[in-house]
Chain A
Amino acid sequence: MLTIALYIAFGSIALAIIFCALRLLRGPDPADRVLAFDTLYINTIALLIVLDIHQSTSLFFEAALLIAMIGFVATVALARYLARGNLGE
């Protein structure tokens, strides 16, 4: 039962990643692309967590935490750049 749930989770996360990639490729505005990137890294975190459950380890926890932190910084920097046109003061 857990195996079936794991495969459903893998499949739906993969589908979500495909949707995000589509939006990343065709988003009409750069803000759409940044939003798609934001959703993409959150989906990657979910994929790593499900892999953790599948392998019965907690090896990928640190990787997920790192992706969360770096992705947040990247999103903030890109959004500031889009809003202002530059990054510094």
Chain B
Amino acid sequence: MLDIVVSVLLLVGSVFILVGAIGLIRLPDFFMRLHGPTKATTLGVGGMLLAAIVHAIDYDFSLREILISLFLFVTAPVSAYLLGQAGLQRRVPSRAPVPEEYRGLRR
């Protein structure tokens, strides 16, 4: 019974991680690529940590695996924000259309 729960959590986590990496390699510009892995990968690691907690119930039950998950949930948005800021400052080319109010203004 426990094995089934662990397996399902592992599969969910690996699907999320794989989707994040595929987004990283396939999406066309930097800001879209920023979008993919920073969200999906955090969820994937979260699923795997839940699987580790459930699997360790028998021999070494502790909630300290939550610590990594919490740390990643706090730090992933911060690093994504800083990377987006770096991309803006470096004027990385973007495919997104200019918003309507700013259509005529070219810097």
Do A and B pair up? The answer is: yes
User: CB distance A1 to B30 under 8 Å?
Assistant: no
Q: How far is the CA of A38 from the CA of B40 in the complex (A)?
A: 13
Whether A87 is near chain B, meaning CB under 8 Å from some CB there, is no
- Interface size range of chain A in the complex: 35 or more
Residues of A contacting B59 in the complex (Cβ-Cβ under 8 angstroms) = 56
Given the known interface contacts A12-B15, A13-B17, A29-B92, the answer about A5 and B10 at a Cβ–Cβ threshold of 8 Å is: yes
Q: How far is the CA of A80 from the CA of B45 in the complex (A)?
A: 25
Q: How far is the CA of A2 from the CA of B52 in the complex (A)?
A: 12
Please report whether the interface of chain B is mostly helix, strand, loop or mixed according to DSSP: helix
What per-residue 1/0 map shows which CB atoms of B53-70 lie under 8 Å from chain A? 001100110101101100
User: CB distance A75 to B18 under 8 Å?
Assistant: no
Whether B25 is near chain A, meaning CB under 8 Å from some CB there, is yes
CB proximity of A61 to chain B, nearest CB, Å: 7
Residues of B contacting A43 in the complex (Cβ-Cβ under 8 angstroms) = 17, 21, 41
User: CB distance A83 to B89 under 8 Å?
Assistant: yes
Q: How far is the CA of A6 from the CA of B51 in the complex (A)?
A: 11
User: CB distance A5 to B6 under 8 Å?
Assistant: yes
Q: How far is the CA of A61 from the CA of B79 in the complex (A)?
A: 22
Residues of A contacting B62 in the complex (Cβ-Cβ under 8 angstroms) = 58
Q: How far is the CA of A43 from the CA of B38 in the complex (A)?
A: 11
Q: How far is the CA of A19 from the CA of B56 in the complex (A)?
A: 30
CB proximity of B12 to chain A, nearest CB, Å: 10
User: CB distance A68 to B72 under 8 Å?
Assistant: yes
19 contacts between A and B (CB under 8 A): A1-B4, A5-B6, A9-B13, A13-B17, A16-B21, A17-B21, A19-B22, A20-B21, A23-B24, A31-B90, A35-B37, A38-B38, A38-B83, A39-B21, A46-B44, A46-B48, A53-B55, A56-B59, A75-B82
The 7 closest A-B CB pairs, nearest first, are A16-B21, A5-B7, A79-B82, A82-B86, A12-B14, A19-B21, A83-B86
